[in-house]
Amino acid sequence: MVKLMKMLDFSFTQLQTNLVVRWEYIPGSELFLVWARGSSGLQNVNDSLTESISRQVFDAPAQDTFLIKATYRFVR
């Protein structure tokens, strides 16, 4: 039973960040710029939390996403 429990141990680390810039260029009309970055992965169960996090932040490949959203208010 103990051997089975050791096989089921895992360590999962995930880091997600977002940056949002909002500009209201005329009343009711806005422009949003969004940058999101995320990485996740399995780490060694024997590593400490700080080692797992530093490996995830500095060594793991990250996915970057850029978004632009514009709204315009039609005024009569």
Residue written as token pair 């995930």:
14
CA distance 31 to 74: 15
In tens, the pLDDT along 57-67 reads 777 788 999 99
Q: N- to C-terminal Cα distance for the chain?
A: 74
In tens, the pLDDT along 28-58 reads 899 999 999 988 777 777 777 788 777 777 7
Give the angle subtended at the CA of 8 by the CAs of 2 and 10, to the nearest 5°: 125
Among candidate residues 8, 11, 5, 9, the one with its CA nearest the CA of residue 48: 11
Q: Compute the half-sphere exposure of residue 58: CA atoms within 13 Å on the CB side of its CA.
A: 6
